[in-house]
Chain A
């Protein structure tokens, strides 16, 4: 057959080729690259190549693969290279153990990060070398030491033959009929009706994975008179602590500094503006001495809106770049956030500390279905 026969005569349905036809490359004698049915029959049936081959119908061709590479001398030198690589790998593995034992980590001897990175360097290099040397050695083995070979295997049609299909259909239907399921609709329908609740009922026990939301997303812990603590230092702050405009300070409600659940809603930012900068829709009654407080939780998906540009009074959320105008009630200038950052009403208490006048007047953070 020519090399052109990649076309139709080889479609699976038409091909009744032998169970397996294997060919070898030129060096091996006596085998064809691709054998047709006739050739196969001739070889297996009429002139057996050896006594062994005549033993039975399952006997495959002998020696489908060549025994030796074409260039024995080159193979010999490649063998040495591969052997050297395997030895290198073994040494590298030993080096891995040595690095494990020899390179201490922890902060006993100075910088802990340096010690870790030293250990990582030693262990990692040894490990990489151990693996790569084996890998390269094996590739040399298969490419330069094993004789080159190319075999051809027949594909069989994926579809079963019609007899098998109809036999299958027969078995399936026969089974269904014998089981009576097709003949007894009451049995069948009640069984189907029973499987639905059986499948759904277990979902109910997932209910206790968490409490129901209730109105918890609508409120934060801020309430009248609660002091604003500077995040991290946890110190209360007075209006006089701002000596000049600019800068953004993250504040948390007093008493909840370590409560992540509450901080995830209640965290706020305070910004001191130049006189006259604050404009509607900022609620000026909720500000103190040109200091305005907004929720820090972005109304898009809840990242902290943590970047503030003094010159433009823009608050930027670093996650998805929603931009809010701090001087105008934190209205949205750009980005996917649908609403302004809610403003926290603040005032000062008797000692002059900044405190909340009340909770936020609307839910903070991302949209949710019940938000309304």
Chain B
């Protein structure tokens, strides 16, 4: 390695093996490209990796658990190590879960890692999804991968529910009972679905075995296929990158897969596994022996599902007791709407969002550089409104705990939640947009005036001024990376004031108005006569306009949109 232009060769044995393989696989070129693949770096890009590694850990620990778990509802009388339950009637599923905990060395550790990993898996998915949403990383061409992600999120929730239902303890059985009551609430076919799922009346003798095979084979298989597709698309379409110096729509800046990313991500796998082991060691989770086996006659107070089911629980708690009795049939809106329609709307809305946004902005272009959330105020506001709705449902799912700890009357928490779920998102939407626009305005002033340094100097005339320093190149690249305003509004009216055909009529006017809402923002072009940073005057502005024209496909980009006068005038 003395001269950087010297060709390196593989050690002989490795070269021989490699040649043998390549003779058969024709892989040298493709694998080399893969090894040199560039991965951009940003801490939020780790969130998806946490989900991925949690999934792998779930599979590893899950395999261990299947070696000892007995998915049977055959009733037995317990005479095992845990003497407090001696002589108690229980299912073999619960008995074998006790045995895993008390009679298999490392069994409790594996159970607890598995349970924690499930929680971390879904928490990481939620965070990853929020990151993708708020940075606009789901935009073309990645909208397909967004759909795969939403599907995995849904499957993950179902998988988690099936998993924690299987030990057949008092807490999990209550969850299954709620699921059964929910199935019964489906109009027309609900009763039949319930009888087919449970093999008759609840609880029956079938559901643990049926949940088991769905939990260990069907859904993990689907998830594995979707994870593979998700990763393949990510590699094929290349990663998005955050705005920054030298980051363009046409490149990826970062470190190569081999050796850098491999080592980093390998380290991250060990971190995730280590953190889950720590949790499983020091933070007890689901001590099933404390609540006893399931019986439909009893319940433990303060029953709480795992966190990812909380929004459904809150939805059920909050909804009023509306039912209809028509023509000898009962329509239980009180169950059907909160437990099925509400999550249906949430997940369908998530899945359709990229399409809705395309309609709302008219922006059909490719996007490989992410948005800073502030630079897409309306999207960010919709996202926060969604988070608010989900958050209210989720908090209401623990309203008894909240009422108890905060000394608020129980029913008041529900009344508050019923209002908050409608009023909250409206307020949050408005506030988020204002905050985003305010942050843009601050960015615009930093581009023109520089950053306040906090250093106060006294001038010869006795006055005090604060020193400002110009932004450096990195900062300018980041701040001025505001996407162009979506352009359909520019094309909405031609020079004679006639609207485009697509934007005529009621629907067209609504769309034009929505375009305006989504386009509102402050212009954040890089400073034209730069503060000594060496960039040419006017250069950036011209390029910016050019990009607008290209992305929107219109004849000319709007110089300014909405409140955007301040920034460019300042130059």
Contact = CB atoms under 8 A, between A and B. Distances in A.
B256 A65 contact: yes
Interface stretch (B277-285, B432-440, B497-505, B508-516): B277-285
Given A211-B195, A213-B195, A319-B299, A369 B190 contact: yes
Interface string B293-307: 001111111110000
Interface in A307-341: 307, 318-323, 332, 334-339
B223 to A, nearest CB: 23
Contacts of B277: 124, 127-128, 131
Nearest to B365: A11
B191 A206 contact: no
Contacts of A30: 4-5
Nearest to A58: B29
A11 B299 contact: no
Given A212-B192, A252-B297, A368-B330, A149 B256 contact: yes
A238 B246 CA distance: 85
B570 to A, nearest CB: 18
B349 interface: no
Interface string B165-209: 000000000100110111011111111101111111111101000
A6 interface: yes
A151 B263 contact: no
Given A6-B247, A142-B260, A211-B195, A123 B109 contact: yes
A111 to B, nearest CB: 9
B237 to A, nearest CB: 6
Interface string A49-74: 11011000010101111011000000
A12 B140 CA distance: 13
B264 A265 contact: no
Contacts of A146: 259-260, 263
Contacts of B23: none
B400 interface: yes
A4 B83 contact: no
Interface size band for B: 35 or more
Given A4-B540, A151-B254, A336-B320, A142 B263 contact: yes
Contact of B330 (A112, A149, A332, A367): A367
B200 A211 contact: yes
B191 A152 contact: no
A4 B526 contact: yes
A367 to B, nearest CB: 4
Given A4-B543, A6-B248, A319 B195 contact: no
B411 interface: yes
B481 interface: yes
A306 B329 contact: no
Contact of B102 (A17, A112, A141, A267): A112
B363 to A, nearest CB: 14
Contacts of B252: 152-155
A366 B281 contact: no
B320 A158 contact: no
B274 interface: yes
A2 interface: yes
Interface in B320-349: 320-323, 325, 328-332, 334-335, 338-339
B38 A153 contact: yes
A337 B277 CA distance: 42
A29 B302 CA distance: 66
A64 to B, nearest CB: 7
Contact of B181 (A119, A153, A301): A301
A78 to B, nearest CB: 14
Given A120-B108, A120-B281, A338 B323 contact: yes
A367 B323 contact: yes
Contacts of B180: 301-302, 366
Contacts of A304: 296-299
Contacts of B237: 158
Interface centre among A8, A33, A212 (most CB of B within 10 A): A8
A301 B178 contact: yes
Given A318-B400, A336-B316, A367-B330, A15 B250 contact: yes
Nearest to B332: A367
B529 interface: no
A106 B103 contact: yes
A367 B281 contact: no
A282 interface: no
Contacts of B109: 119-120, 123-124, 127
B270 A123 contact: no
Contacts of B38: 151-153
Interface string A220-242: 00000000000100000000000
B308 interface: no
Interface stretch (B149-157, B373-381, B544-552): B544-552
Given A260-B295, A296-B297, A366-B332, A152 B543 contact: no
Given A116-B108, A155-B368, A158-B366, A263 B330 contact: no
A301 B335 contact: yes
Interface string B522-556: 00001000000011100110011011011100000
A231 to B, nearest CB: 6
B36 A22 contact: yes
A234 to B, nearest CB: 12
Given A106-B102, A142-B267, A338 B82 contact: no
Contacts of A372: 325, 328-330
Given A7-B546, A302-B202, A336-B316, A121 B481 contact: no
Interface string B1-30: 100111110000000000000000000010
A258 interface: yes
Nearest to B329: A369
A272 interface: no
Contacts of B81: 105-107, 112
Contact of A155 (B199, B203, B251, B289): B251
Contacts of B251: 10, 34, 152-155
B411 A334 contact: yes
Nearest to B251: A152
Contact of A321 (B82, B317, B534): B317
Interface in A60-106: 60, 62-65, 67-68, 100, 103, 105-106
Contacts of B317: 320-321, 335-336
A2 B535 contact: yes
Contact of B274 (A131, A216, A335): A131
B135 interface: no
20 contacts: A62-B8, A63-B5, A100-B105, A112-B102, A120-B281, A123-B106, A135-B271, A146-B259, A150-B254, A153-B37, A153-B252, A155-B251, A155-B368, A210-B199, A210-B206, A250-B297, A265-B201, A300-B335, A319-B316, A338-B321
Closest 9 CB pairs of A and B: A301-B181, A124-B281, A131-B274, A135-B270, A10-B250, A138-B267, A132-B274, A367-B332, A264-B296
Interface of B: 1, 4-8, 29, 32-33, 36-38, 75, 81-83, 89, 101-103, 105-106, 108-109, 112, 141, 174, 177-178, 180-182, 184-192, 194-204, 206, 237-238, 243, 245-256, 259-260, 263-264, 266-271, 273-275, 277-278, 280-282, 289, 295-303, 313, 316-323, 325, 328-332, 334-335, 338-339, 366, 368-369, 399-400, 410-411, 414, 473, 477, 481, 526, 534-536, 539-540, 543-544, 546-547, 549-551
